[in-house]
Structure 1
Amino acid sequence: MSPTWVTSPNYTEGRGGTPIDRIVIHYIVGRLSAADATFQNPDSGVSAHYGIGEGRVHQYVSVFNTAWHAGDWGFNQRSIGIEHSADQYRAPTWETIMASVDRCTILCRQFGLDPMTAIVPHDSIRATACPGTVDWEDIRDRTAQQV
């Protein structure tokens, strides 16, 4: 599924010479429309590269630029952030998971990443409930079967 651009003003040009070696799995704590609104708001100070949900994939920031998603500047520079339509009580749909696997497969091939080490949950970077109900290990394992 090709992404639709929903451009965010919240990013930093380039990656400061840092190569991409991680994909960070997040949950939106809501639906894709909530991510769209948050990432398009310059006062929010946050963004991600992609959002997936409700049968769509949105791209907010170019993978060649730094999105503000991980809560750690160094990790932002080295990673691609993917948000999933879900919250603490609602897991992502099967369609959302499979769209994420597709996107992760494309990214791993594009950047020569090993999904088993490259795909990580947000809570491995910062103390947070994110990615909550998103089964990031399933995404990682399914991606590994595709790469």
Structure 2
Amino acid sequence: MDRARDLPHPSRRRLLQAGALAAAAAVPGALLPAGRAGAQAQAVDYPAAQSVPASTSNYTVSNRPSTYPVDYVIIHVTQETYADAVKIFQNPAKQVSIHYLVRSADGHIAQCVREKNVAWHAGNWDYNTRSIGIEHEGWVDQPEYFTDAMYEQSAALTASVCARYGIPMDREHIIGHVEVPGTDHTDPGPYWDWSRYIRMVNFA
């Protein structure tokens, strides 16, 4: 997770001005059907996801892929629990967000930012504009968090994103946060099984 201020140049910034949390009615982690997390819940782009919106102060409103092409999926590890990660994305002071968050225990997926918008996750504005970011609950040095359910649900999500945007399902286009130029992050770390993950994406 990138807590540094990951903001675009002011001339390219298009932020919603309302600073209120958009997900006051959503219960973090609740297994609710997509689109029924509460009256303030937004729609979802991936039908299996639950809407758990990030603060509108933590991402850039856009109209992708018209405004920017979507070329990458970037894999992250939270270094936080699922619940704490949700709180961070909903805190307007944190200046960080993600498109999707995958829970360790059961692979439950929260959508925090709509795919058309630019989430602030990569630590690199160019990569932010051209990617979908997926956070995974856990720590880079604790492989027990990378459960079968997490791999299965995340791989199905990534396969859907790649299919919808024409992204090749390979390691050149499905990358780790560590591979984003200009950042000092190490996630998803040495215990993330890339061979297994890419194979699962291609057979999802």
TM-score under structure 2 normalisation?
A: 0.67
Is residue 2:155 matched to residue 1:105?
Answer: no
> Which ranges of structure 2 fall in alignment gaps of 5 or more residues?
1-46
When residues 51 and 136 of structure 1 are mapped into structure 2, their CA distance, relative to the original with a 3 A threshold, is farther
Provide the rounded CA distance (Å) in 1 between the counterparts of 2:202 and 2:187: 22
Between Structure 1 and Structure 2, the one with more helix by share is: 1
Tell me the alpha carbon deviations over residues 100-128 of structure 1, each in whole angstroms, 9 at most, x when there is no partner: 00100111111111111320010001221
**1:142 lines up with 2:204 in the alignment:** no
The equivalent residue for 1:127 is 184
**Counterparts of 2:139 and 2:49, CA distance in 1:** 22
Q: Which amino acid aligns with 1:140?
A: I
Whether the aligned pair in 2 keeps the contact of 1:114 and 1:144 (CA below 8 Å) is: no
Q: Which has the higher strand share?
A: 1
Higher relative contact order (CA 8 A, sep 6+): 1
Separation in structure 2 between the aligned mates of residue 20 and residue 144 of structure 1, nearest angstrom: 18
Residue equivalent to 1:114? 168
Cα offset for 1:144? 2.2
| TM-score normalised to structure 1 length | 0.92
Q: Give the CA deviation at 1:49.
A: 0.2
1:34 corresponds to 2:79: no
- Which is worse superposed, 6-15 or 75-84? 6-15
* Maintained 8 Å contact 1:115/1:141: no
Report how many aligned residue pairs link the two structures. Answer: 146
- Structure 2 counterpart SS, 1:115: coil
Could you list the runs of 4 or more consecutive aligned residues of structure 1 that deviate by over 4 angstroms after TM superposition?
Answer: none
Question: How has the CA–CA distance of structure 1 residues 127 and 138 changed in structure 2, closer, same or farther, with 3 Å as cutoff?
Answer: farther
Q: Where do 5+ consecutive residues of structure 1 fail to align?
A: none
Distance 2:122 2:193 in 1: 18
Q: Which one has the largest radius of gyration?
A: 2
Q: Check 1:136–1:85 CA distance in 2 against 1; reply closer, same or farther (3 A cut).
A: farther
2:131 to 79, 82, 85: 79
Asked whether the 8 Å contact 1:104–1:143 carries over to 2, the reply is yes
Three-state SS of the structure 1 residue aligned to 2:133 is strand
SS of the counterpart of 1:63? coil
Separation in structure 1 between the aligned mates of residue 179 and residue 199 of structure 2, nearest angstrom? 17
Aligned to 2:52: 6
User: d(CA) in 1 for partners of 2:184 and 2:174?
Assistant: 17
Taking only aligned residues, the RMSD between alpha carbons, in angstroms, comes to 1.6
